[in-house]
């Protein structure tokens, strides 16, 4: 098995990653996805990386630096998804390790993320395999 992890920078690479990201972010179409990635990259330092198996993207992550009074400076994992047919092969762990190494290499000492309440398998992965601590619930309110 030949795998490679690469930061995605060009629009062509981002378009290639969209079908994978769409499995996590089902509400986005390709155009809104590209617009959001562009804006987040320009304004927030958002980065995307893809894991390629045999030259094809099978997993994607998006992450960015953040600063809060709670954590100080840290890396927030916004997105992490592996295509349905390629799960439980270590690709998510490889991408999350890539993010953690990127964080260390860039002077960060903490990586944080949130996961939907319904994603029980993902919770097990984060806690048992990747050794993340569950520290809070994330709440939202849609404003009219």
- Whose tokens are 């079908």? That residue is 19
- CATH architecture type of domain 3-129: 3-Layer(aba) Sandwich (3.40)
- Report the C-alpha gap between 58 and 132 in whole angstroms: 23
pLDDT bucket at 117, cuts 50 / 70 / 90: confident
Q: What is the pLDDT of residue 2?
A: 85
Rounded mean pLDDT of 23-46?
Answer: 98
As to burial, measured by CB atoms within 10 angstroms (0-12 exposed, 13-18 middle, 19+ buried), residue 31 is exposed
Rounded mean pLDDT of 12-37?
Answer: 98
Angle at which helices 30-44 and 11-22 cross, to 10°: 120
Q: What is the DSSP string of 82-130?
A: E-GGGTTSSHHHHHHHHHHHHHHHTT---EEE---TT-HHHHHIIIIIS
pLDDT at 103 over 70: yes
């Amino acid at each position: 098995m030949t795998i490679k992890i690469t930061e995605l920078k060009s629009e062509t690479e981002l378009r290639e990653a969209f079908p994978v990201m769409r499995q996590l972010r089902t509400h986005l179409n390709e155009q809104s996805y590209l617009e959001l990635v562009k804006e987040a990259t320009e304004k927030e330092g958002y980065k995307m990386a893809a894991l390629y198996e045999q030259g094809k993207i099978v997993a994607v992550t998006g992450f960015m630096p953040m600063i809060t009074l709670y954590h100080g400076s840290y890396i927030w994992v916004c997105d992490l998804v592996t295509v349905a047919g390629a799960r439980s092969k270590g690709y998510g762990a490889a991408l999350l390790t890539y993010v953690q190494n990127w964080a260390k290499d860039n002077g960060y000492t903490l990586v944080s993320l949130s996961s939907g309440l319904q994603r029980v398998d993902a919770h097990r992965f984060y806690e048992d395999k990747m050794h993340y601590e569950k520290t809070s619930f994330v709440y939202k309110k849609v404003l009219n």
